[in-house]
Amino acid sequence: MRAQDDVDPLVKEELLEKDRKYVWHHMSAHNENPMIIASGEGSWVTDIDGNRYLDGMSGLWCVNVGHGRREIAEAAADQMMKIAYATLVQSHIPAIELAAKLNEWLEGEYRIFFSNSGSDANEVAFKIARQYHHQNGKPSKHKFISRHRAYHGNSMGALGATGQAQRKLKYEPLGVGFQHVPPPYCYRCPFGQTKETCSLQCAQAIENAIVWEGADSVAGVILEPVITGGGMLVPHEGYLPAVRSICDKYDVLLIVDEVICGFGRSGKPFGHQNYGVRPDIVTMAKGLTSAYSPLSATAVSAELYDSFKEKEATSHFRHVNTFGGNPVSCKVALANLDIIEREGLVERSAEIGQAFRARLEPLNAHPHVGEIRIFGSAMGIELVEDQISKIPASVERVTHLILACKSKGLLVGKNGDTVPGYANILTLSPPLSSTEDDVNFII
Ligand code: PLP
């Protein structure tokens, strides 16, 4: 199919030549023939050959309101003409309005620290947690408990918190003080339990880690409400409340990474709201602006913030970044959140998930489908060689399926590929604005 975005073959060859020569692609050694995306509208993107694809992963789990939203572009242009840059050493109107709006979404009282990326937001959370304990009479609390298979970002601390060996190889040593425990992975329970015998041993593992490390040395637990990039691992509904109680028992902060699960993806404004817990710190990025502009935020409970009010010269949070909370990005975020609210996209996300659940049910009988896991409108299909042995589907089988989807115009993701042999979870996370036709197309 060729559309208005197709370019002259000679121009395309020239672009590809420059790409091969100058562009260092993310997450691949070398991509001889990358897909070059030229435009997007709604849930669909178009490459420079004019081929249209349904963007089944919303880019990298981020374009929650879909592509081509003119009102976001206009909000950005308008803000650029008013003032394109102001620091948050002082303040500016879009940051003030956005911080207040995020408090509505969070249903609690939080101070908002703005940065650029999800990795930044998590780094900020770690520094705030350590400094908080310092200023609260417990300076030895500095470690963080995280889970295997979790992804929390690419910088030294956030990668230290990440529980995926393949991402860390050759970059260690990373930020110190990160301990990992087994994830709540019910399909392959690390504790050999079943639904019937489960007594939340995965939550107990967090308590054990705190005790064994020494509660006086542990500053926080970091987790996603549902491990997304590590393979869509949806925990038992009692898991997050149990972790909250454990954190309270040992004066350990609960840091919830909502970089993917936030902004409607889970069928609620934030993922943790599905489990009725109140985090001490919430980190967010991606859907905050639907990736129309880079922005992230670390929301810190009002109680924690109190200990940063000036007592001595080093009591305040001594952290600054040039671009964090850029006025244009904040204005983009406000326009994005306005669309999500106006169009009811949080509820729409839940509906998309319900459609997946109901209409993909027959796939459960397919010999290569181990389990289908859905959280809001995010879905993981764990592919196996057969349902009895549960041997993860081979790389060839998964690759074949991904290419088959692409040839039919659907872009899907592949996750869980960071432990050798486990490249077997097909992921889908379409825009929350996906229409019935889009959902039918995916199904
Ligand atoms: N946290 C989670 C759960 C993520 O999935 C990601 C990125 O995919 C990050 C943090 C890091 O975000 P960024 O890529 O914006 O640094």
Q: For 63-98, what is each residue's pLDDT tens digit?
A: 999 999 999 999 999 999 999 999 999 999 999 999
Amino acid 4: pLDDT: 57
Three-class secondary structure of residue 52 per DSSP = strand
Three-class secondary structure of residue 47 per DSSP = strand
Cα–Cα distance measured from residue 202 to residue 240, given in angstroms and rounded to the nearest whole number: 10
- Ligand 1 atom 2: residue of nearest CA: 152
CA dihedral angle for residue 372, residue 373, residue 378, residue 383, rounded to 10 degrees? -50
Check whether 417 has a pLDDT greater than 80: no
Atom of ligand 1 nearest to the CA of 155: 16
Pocket perturbation via mutation, ligand 1, pick of 61, 152, 156 by most ligand atoms within 8 A of CB:
152
Amino acid 5: pLDDT: 63
Cα–Cα distance measured from residue 56 to residue 429, given in angstroms and rounded to the nearest whole number: 6
Atom of ligand 1 nearest to the CA of 118: 12
Check whether 262 has a pLDDT greater than 70: yes
Q: Which residues line ligand 1 (CB under 6 A)?
A: 60, 117-119, 122, 151-154, 224, 228-229, 257, 259-260, 285
Over residues 288-296, mean pLDDT: 98
Check whether 8 has a pLDDT greater than 80: yes
The structural domains of the chain, with segments of one domain joined by +, span 9-64+344-442, 71-342
Confidence of residue 420 (pLDDT cuts 50, 70, 90): low
CATH topology of domain 9-64+344-442: Aspartate Aminotransferase, domain 1 (3.90.1150)
Q: Does domain 71-342 sit in CATH 3.20.140.10? A: no
Over residues 336-340, mean pLDDT: 98
More confident residue, 395 or 307: 307
Query: How far away, in angstroms, is 167 Cα from ligand 1 center?
Result: 13
Pocket perturbation via mutation, ligand 1, pick of 151, 156, 159 by most ligand atoms within 8 A of CB:
151
Work out whether strand 110-115 and strand 296-301 pair parallel, antiparallel, or are unpaired.
antiparallel
Query: How far away, in angstroms, is 10 Cα from ligand 1 center?
Result: 37
Atom of ligand 1 nearest to the CA of 120: 16
pLDDT digits (tens, 9 = 90+) for 363-416: 999 999 999 999 999 999 999 999 999 999 988 999 999 999 999 999 999 987
Query: How far away, in angstroms, is 260 Cα from ligand 1 center?
Result: 7
- Ligand 1 atom 10: residue of nearest CA: 152
Amino acid 2: pLDDT: 43
Check whether 418 has a pLDDT greater than 70: no
- Ligand 1 atom 13: residue of nearest CA: 118
- Ligand 1 atom 1: residue of nearest CA: 152
Among 138, 171, 140, CA closest to 157: 171
CB atoms within 10 A of CB 297: 29
Mean pLDDT of the chain: 95
For 29, phi then psi, to 5°, come to -65, -50
More confident residue, 405 or 29: 405
- Ligand 1 atom 8: residue of nearest CA: 153
Atom of ligand 1 nearest to the CA of 286: 15
Q: Which two tokens stand for residue 24?
A: 């260092």
Pocket perturbation via mutation, ligand 1, pick of 58, 119, 164 by most ligand atoms within 8 A of CB:
119
Among 120, 156, 188, CA closest to 326: 120
Amino acid 166: pLDDT: 86
Amino acid 413: pLDDT: 95
Q: Which two tokens stand for residue 361?
A: 């049910």
- Ligand 1 atom 7: residue of nearest CA: 153
Q: What ipTM was assigned to the predicted interfaces of this complex?
A: 0.99
Atom of ligand 1 nearest to the CA of 154: 16
Amino acid 1: pLDDT: 40
Query: How far away, in angstroms, is 119 Cα from ligand 1 center?
Result: 6
More confident residue, 32 or 356: 356
CB atoms within 10 A of CB 27: 6
pLDDT digits (tens, 9 = 90+) for 182-216: 999 999 999 999 999 999 999 999 999 999 999 99
Query: How far away, in angstroms, is 82 Cα from ligand 1 center?
Result: 31
pLDDT digits (tens, 9 = 90+) for 148-157: 999 999 999 9
Query: How far away, in angstroms, is 243 Cα from ligand 1 center?
Result: 22
Amino acid 419: pLDDT: 56
Atom of ligand 1 nearest to the CA of 229: 5
Atom of ligand 1 nearest to the CA of 60: 8
Cα–Cα distance measured from residue 259 to residue 289, given in angstroms and rounded to the nearest whole number: 11
Atom of ligand 1 nearest to the CA of 224: 3
Pocket perturbation via mutation, ligand 1, pick of 60, 147, 260, 283 by most ligand atoms within 8 A of CB:
260
Least confident of 54-58, 136-140, 141-145, 417-421: 417-421
